[in-house]
Structure 1
Amino acid sequence: MFSIKTLFPILPLMTVSVTTVNAWASDNHTCALTQPIYSCENSTQIVDTCCTPIQGLVLVTQFWDTYTGLEDQGSVLPKDSWTIHGLWPDRCDGSYGQYCDLSRQYDPVPSPNTTTGKSDGTPVPAWTGGDVITPLLQQYGKYDLLAYIQKYWKSQNSPDWTFWQHEFSKHATCFSTYDVGFEGVPDCYGSLYQNSTEASIIDFIQSVIKSQIQYPTYEWLAENEIKPSNQTGYKLFDIQNVLTQKSGGEPYLGCSGPTKQVLSEIWYYSHSLGRPQDSFLKPINQTTKSNCNQTQPIWYYERSQGSEY
């Protein structure tokens, strides 16, 4: 197949215009000429799955942990901020896939250990090759991205890179807009990059950061006098109401403990205008219900001593 780059110098302009029609069937997916649509709101078939996610219910998810478990190794939590959990693609009906591309499986502890939606329950092999994300970001000079996730994308009781690679392998590989050609799907990066897999990893990390910055949970709560405390509990309604007003959609609040009173995570639901990479997210209400106790105080605990900087 001739590329536009090859044809352009020798053919008239009109011939080039005709030839570009064939580019839609190739690995040219810049999406610049594709009219963006909101995921899960389209009434017609998606023309280019690299430009609109098939699993288009996009979740921006965060943790409130009080310790890392690796403080003695210098791993601590960022002051006055929730930490990143991930960026997830759910199907429009609320179901979801996971580990959708085993050629990009870098999770050292896959959980659960079989792929969803595979009739044969294909096992997900554990990754034994160590940290791939840190050296990749260093190789391409993405030191700002690396510094950000080292501070804000924290794991608990394991090195941070294991969590980053878990999130990429389990979730990013199910976003069609990050596809790299596995099992016949399009390669959304094509000939623009020497290595589409590396491009998809960096692309995903940038997307995670861009989406997380749009949801400053700690700041929103603090502005309304809801701050971490070991003495004062809060009403679930008050927390939910603040975050709904600030974000534009009702988020899912996750609580832990036997009575579900310890605030530990949040999921913001959205539809994506075009690619999630561009982070044009339209807030919507949660499609499930928060599991927190609705009648007893919710505890938003302070960080453990020595676990925050």
Structure 2
Amino acid sequence: MFPLLTLFTVLPLMASVDAWLSDNHTCALTKPIYSCENTTAIVDTCCTPTEGLVLVTQYWDTYTGLESEGSVLPKESWTIHGLWPDRCDGSYGQYCDLSRQYDPVPSPNTTTGKPDGTPVPVWEGGDVITPLLEKYGKWDLLAFMQKFWKSQNSPDWTFWQHEFSKHATCFTTYDVGFDGAPDCYGLLYENSTEASIIDFLESVVKADIQYPTYQWLSEQGITPSNQTGYEFQKIQDALTAASGAEPYLGCTGPTRQVLTEVWYYTHSYGRPQDGFLKPLDQTTKSNCNATQPIWYYERTQGSEY
């Protein structure tokens, strides 16, 4: 057995130089910085995203469309939309790694959203995420997603795979070596793609629970109602005060009066995986009607549990 002093002397010599040059990233060795706030080039894009405007997005739906199959919405909670990687200037990419394309209905169907963009192939291999989480015993994660990450008019896994394929593949911190990018997982995992999927799903959940939108609105007397509309500014102010920055509110309908979603803008301290998110005012102006009542409708009967 080595004496303690000798052990610390020997360990650096035992570490191969190749280990420092490989793609086995432990970001514990990298001092975290806030994304989009660094003044120099990011050295290790596995540890700080170049897409540093990180959006935590949620839905308020009133039905799933698959209630007859047991798919219902969680009581007193908004549901997850996703975790989105915008670049610091507000632009963004989509479907950035077609080797990890598992979306059965790509939207848009090209990487640029334009006819001359690279076509995004339709995934025909079915549910990848559910068996993956079962394979690794991620039962608590799967149960949370099944309750709080709901799709509308399609099985939940189709939505999960859409969010992963369209958005996660554009975060550098989930890179797996596609098209010359580093492999942020390397030999630490048997399969980097599987690791990136699980990593992203855990990141989405970790971010989502930091933004209890239903609770924040309820504390200000704003609860779902089919009889009472609310002033847009009252909703905006409630979420701004609770979250620490002004979020984007999305409304639908011909006069933009039906509240359906919220986007919380953040900068990430280190990797989004670590969940240290700094609130930031919206960079996209809310589209809700600021002069007419906003409807925050109750869930359809039988659509909630």
TM-score, normalization by structure 2? 0.95
Aligned equivalents of 1:77, 1:171: Cα separation in 2: 24
Match of 2:301 in 1: 305
Give the counterpart of 2:140 among 144, 162, 173: 144
The one-letter amino acid paired with 2:150 is: K
Aligned equivalents of 1:220, 1:72: Cα separation in 2: 31
Give the counterpart of 1:15 among 9, 13, 16: 13
Q: In structure 1, the residue corresponding to 2:278 is in which secondary structure?
A: strand
Give the counterpart of 2:196 among 194, 200, 205: 200
Match of 2:282 in 1: 286
The one-letter amino acid paired with 1:189 is: Y
Moved more, 110-119 or 29-38: 110-119
- Show CA shifts across 1:176-227 (max 9, x none): 0000000010000010000000000000010000000000000000011000
Does the Cα contact within 8 Å between 1:97 and 1:117 map onto a contact in 2? no
Quick check: 1:52 aligned with 2:48? yes
CA RMSD of aligned residues (A): 1.7
Among all aligned residue pairs of Structure 1 and Structure 2, give the percentage whose two residues are the same amino acid.
79
Aligned equivalents of 1:96, 1:107: Cα separation in 2: 18
Aligned runs of 1:1-309 on 2, under 5 Å?
12-16=10-14, 19-20=16-17, 22-116=18-112, 121-309=117-305
The one-letter amino acid paired with 2:274 is: D
TM-score, normalization by structure 1? 0.94
Q: In structure 1, the residue corresponding to 2:27 is in which secondary structure?
A: coil
Aligned equivalents of 2:114, 2:25: Cα separation in 1: 27
Q: In structure 1, the residue corresponding to 2:249 is in which secondary structure?
A: strand
Unaligned ranges ≥5, structure 2 = 1-6
Cα displacement (A) at 1:25: 2.9
Q: In structure 1, the residue corresponding to 2:28 is in which secondary structure?
A: coil
Aligned equivalents of 1:104, 1:130: Cα separation in 2: 14
Aligned equivalents of 1:124, 1:36: Cα separation in 2: 34
Q: 1:14 to 1:217 in 2, by over 3 A?
A: closer
Aligned equivalents of 2:259, 2:40: Cα separation in 1: 40
The one-letter amino acid paired with 2:95 is: Y
Aligned equivalents of 2:173, 2:189: Cα separation in 1: 15
The one-letter amino acid paired with 2:198 is: I
Over 2 Å off, 4+ runs: 11-17, 22-25, 116-120
Aligned equivalents of 2:11, 2:302: Cα separation in 1: 66
- Show CA shifts across 1:35-84 (max 9, x none): 00000000001010000001110000000000000001100000000000
Q: In structure 1, the residue corresponding to 2:68 is in which secondary structure?
A: helix
Q: In structure 1, the residue corresponding to 2:85 is in which secondary structure?
A: strand
Aligned equivalents of 1:254, 1:303: Cα separation in 2: 18
The one-letter amino acid paired with 1:241 is: D
